[in-house]
Structure 1
């Protein structure tokens, strides 16, 4: 698939089939994440955790439901794979781990689209699990790393077929 077509087809998928994605697809998606730009080339300041354990995903879901007081909340929309992108906080560049994670997640989302997989960028549930030290430990993060963003990935219940028109939706001013 061409890049511009993948960009035009990518959407936030909010309904997934239960079947797991292939290891081959996951490997390429993770490599796409690793190819993302990271501030100052500090790739060792970033970490990815892949979760395909349905019991752990359910624990995260329950924590999000409790935190946001929404018993029907389904933060992963049934996606069987979750990639949590974490970063090492840097006093000289506050929130750089969030910016780096956003680049990593977008690369992975576009790679997933190229495979016909759905994905959705996630952030809110991370506030819930980050406040629960027991659940946070389940991510097995290196010391000093904090979750910054996540991507749910899976086979969408409706195939990605709509190619949206690429148009300017954000106001732009050009200074010459």
Structure 2
């Protein structure tokens, strides 16, 4: 089995993290994997925001929890940093392109032993006035749709969940 296939089979979502940022080298590899994701018409109509600031991370966590309807919950599970994928709002393959960026980054993070998990509600966050202000403050112009957050960090435990058995009738042949 190829190394890539092994990574895809063994990758699991992590929901418990050490309070320590990953190294710049690890982060750069994960970002490079995202930058080289396939995109509709090769337009690369996505961007990634790398959040290492604890203040911004906590602010986004509160916004995400509010969308979830559970303001006391940390939807980032204590992960010390995150990547946010956004796509050009008017681009026809925006959600698909952003999802491919996420998938590439998740696989690379896993290959490096970095805990990671896809977190939803970026769309709602960045449609809000507060989300638009964050983008403006970061110097990001244009109309962007939040696709997802990728939380990152070193797992608090060496044990991640095992893969569930794959369902019957997953693949059909014609």
8 Å CA contact 2:33–2:105 kept in 1: the answer is yes
- When residues 136 and 76 of structure 1 are mapped into structure 2, their CA distance, relative to the original with a 3 A threshold, is farther
Alignment of 1:104-143 (within 5 A): 104-124=101-121, 126-139=122-135, 140=138, 141-143=140-142
Q: CA deviation at 1:63?
A: 2.1
Stretches of structure 2 lacking an aligned partner (at least 5 in a row): none
- When residues 23 and 129 of structure 1 are mapped into structure 2, their CA distance, relative to the original with a 3 A threshold, is same
- When residues 110 and 170 of structure 1 are mapped into structure 2, their CA distance, relative to the original with a 3 A threshold, is farther
TM-score, with length taken from structure 2: 0.86
- 1:8-45 deviation per Cα after TM superposition (whole angstroms, max 9, x unaligned): 221111111110000000001000011111111001x1
8 Å CA contact 2:13–2:118 kept in 1: the answer is yes
**Size of the alignment, in residue pairs?**
170
8 Å CA contact 1:86–1:149 kept in 2: the answer is yes
Q: CA deviation at 1:165?
A: 8.0
Question: How far apart, in 1, do the equivalents of 2:97 and 2:3 lie?
Answer: 24
In the TM superposition, structure 1's runs of 4+ consecutive aligned residues that sit over 3 Å from their partners are: 160-170
Question: How far apart, in 2, do the equivalents of 1:69 and 1:162 lie?
Answer: 27
Q: CA deviation at 1:131?
A: 4.0
TM-score, with length taken from structure 1: 0.85
Question: How far apart, in 2, do the equivalents of 1:19 and 1:113 lie?
Answer: 17
1:9 is aligned to 10
2:58 match: secondary structure: helix
Task: Select between 7-16 and 160-169 the one with higher mean Cα deviation.
Answer: 160-169
Q: CA deviation at 1:73?
A: 1.7
1:26 is aligned to 27
- When residues 172 and 61 of structure 1 are mapped into structure 2, their CA distance, relative to the original with a 3 A threshold, is same
Task: Select between 112-121 and 126-135 the one with higher mean Cα deviation.
Answer: 126-135
1:103 is aligned to 100
